[in-house]
Amino acid sequence: MRMTRVAVVLAATGGLVSAAMGTAFAGDGATAAGGSSTGEEFVTFSEQNTAQDGRQNNNCAQFDGEELSLEGSRTRTRCVTGDVSFNKHTVTRNAGAHAVGGDVAGDLEEQNTAQKGRQNNNCGQHNAISTVDDVSLTDSSLTADCVAHDGSRNKYTKTETAGARALGGDAVTDLTEQNTAQSGKQNNDCGNDNELNIELTEGSRASASCADLDRSHNKHTVTKSGGSRATGGDTTTGIDQQNTAQDGRQNNNCANISSFDLGLDDSSLAGRCKNLDHSHNEYTATKTRGATAQGGGGLASLDQQNTAQTGRQNNNCANINETFDGDVLELGGGSEAAASCKNVDGSHNKRSLVKDGGARATGGDGSGEFFEFFQASQQNTAQSGRQNNNCGNLNQTTPVLDDSRATAHCLTADHSKNDRTVVRREGATATGGDGAADLFEQNIAQSGRQNNSCGNANALELTADGSTATAQCIATDRSTNLDTVEH
């Protein structure tokens, strides 16, 4: 008998309609610190530590250590923020956001997220799903949707903050972590699955979508930030991590899967990130220390993605990190796995100044002192500038495609108008880690405008039968720049 279709919808909506004049705000920021365990070595410790500070932050529909089985059903996560406020002669100062993971003597599975700024979304994260078929969908859908819309008016405003810090915890045995630090405007951290086993059959769909729209007007504004720092934890055995630090405007970190087992049959898996900037900025100054992502270290196998992005319209989406042994990414029966990242800049900038400390991504080390037969697989990406895409990158995966499609699509379009603007940044640095045995790495550093890093496969073993695998990167520059300086 066919099961009755049931819908589970989780929604959070924030709307800010206000006027602030001659106002000062001060605070100590937000801190989330995970607990610690000194128990037996074979105990599993699961945590999600989230610290958010600023305006219109969403933290919704987080699942920690769950088992999910859907048949003829759907579950949806939707987070929406809308800002049409008016702010004049306002000052905001605080200590930023800090998320610190706990330490454990056994296995540690964590997500540590720190977000600071305006319109941050942290939604639809699945953490520590470690037994067979924990997420099973039959003729069903699983959706995460995050939307941020900024239509605010800001004049003679000043914002100072210490930025965002995400620090991973340490483990004695296996360590699986996602550490994300974002500082700036319109940051999305959604649909990232950590330690996941998932089976989709009979037309099921799983998708994560993040969208940012900026129509704000900013005049005579000053923004100072300590930047973003994401630091991975250490372990004496195996480590699987994603460490992401993003600082600037319109950053997306979505649909990134770490340490997973995936099977699709006549089904689809999609990650979509979209940024639209139609803001007007005149006599604005922005200063930040940039973004730093530091990988953790392990004595055995080391599988990591360390991403640092600073600037405008950065996408970090649909990056798959470390799958389990065997044929673990299986697409069959007309299935499709797709990643799409899109940035469109139609902003107007006049007499604006931007200074940042650049982007730094550093891989962790796998010493392998007693485990020389283990390998290290890493992707270290640092991007600094405007319209950066880092999407559809596969690290240490074994995909099997049967009558199916796998697609990564990255698009940047610059229609901005820039008049007498100055941009100063320290550039981008990507440094690989060390390994005592096999070492598979991708180290990418891009600085400037319209950078694409997509469809990069690291330590890949691909099997395809009647299928297609496509990676496409497109950059279009129609911007107008008058008396501008970049160095």
pLDDT of amino acid 285:
93
pLDDT of amino acid 11:
47
Mean predicted lDDT score pLDDT of the chain: 81
pLDDT of amino acid 298:
67
* CA dihedral sign of residues 131, 132, 137, 142: positive
Say if residues 158 and 222 touch (Cβ distance below 8 Å).
yes
Q: What tokens does 461 get?
A: 């073993």
Q: What tokens does 334 get?
A: 């007309």
| DSSP letter string, 292-332 | EEE---BSS-EEEEEEEEEEEEEEEES-EEEEPSSS-EEEE
CA distances from 221 to 25, 155, 159 (A): 16, 6, 8
Q: Is the pLDDT of residue 455 over 90?
A: no
pLDDT of amino acid 467:
94
Say if residues 331 and 337 touch (Cβ distance below 8 Å).
yes
At residue 222 the predicted structure's pLDDT band, cuts being 50, 70 and 90, is: very high
Beta bridge partners of 185: 118, 249
pLDDT of amino acid 326:
47
Closest alpha carbon to 453 in 441, 465, 445, 463: 445
Q: What tokens does 273 get?
A: 């990130």
At residue 310 the predicted structure's pLDDT band, cuts being 50, 70 and 90, is: confident
Say if residues 96 and 183 touch (Cβ distance below 8 Å).
yes
Taking only the tens place, the pLDDT of each residue in 373-416 is 566 778 888 988 888 888 888 877 888 899 999 888 889 999 99
Mean pLDDT, residues 155-183 taken together:
85
Helix or strand or coil: residue 106? coil
Rg of the chain taking only CA atoms, in angstroms = 21
Q: State in Å, rounded, how far the first CA of the chain is from the last one.
A: 67
* CA dihedral sign of residues 280, 290, 96, 342: positive
pLDDT of amino acid 5:
42
Closest alpha carbon to 458 in 472, 473, 445, 441: 441
Query: Of all residues in the chain, what percent carry a pLDDT higher than 90?
Result: 19
Taking only the tens place, the pLDDT of each residue in 74-99 is 888 888 889 999 999 999 887 888 88
Q: What tokens does 473 get?
A: 């990167």
pLDDT of amino acid 458:
74
The count of other CB atoms within 10 Å of the CB of residue 113 is: 29
Mean pLDDT, residues 458-469 taken together:
86
Q: Is the pLDDT of residue 350 over 80?
A: yes
pLDDT of amino acid 404:
94
HSE-CB for 301 with a 13 A CA cutoff: 14
pLDDT of amino acid 327:
44
The DSSP symbol for 67 reads: -
Mean pLDDT, residues 252-270 taken together:
82
Beta bridge partners of 350: 282, 419
Cα(25)–Cα(83) distance, rounded to whole angstroms? Answer: 18
Question: Which amino acid appears at position 122 of this protein?
Answer: N
Q: Is the pLDDT of residue 16 over 60?
A: no
Q: What tokens does 266 get?
A: 């006549």
Q: Which of 173-187, 275-289, 439-453 has the highest mean pLDDT?
A: 275-289
Of 486 and 19, the structure prediction assigns the larger pLDDT to 486
Q: What tokens does 358 get?
A: 């650049």
Say if residues 383 and 452 touch (Cβ distance below 8 Å).
no
The vertex-368 CA angle with 364 and 371, nearest 5°, equals 140
* CA dihedral sign of residues 342, 344, 345, 347: negative
Q: Is the pTM of this model over 0.75?
A: yes
Q: Is the pLDDT of residue 341 over 80?
A: yes
The DSSP symbol for 237 reads: S
> Which of 13-22, 60-69, 214-223 is predicted with the least confidence, judged by mean pLDDT?
13-22
- Residue length of the chain: 487
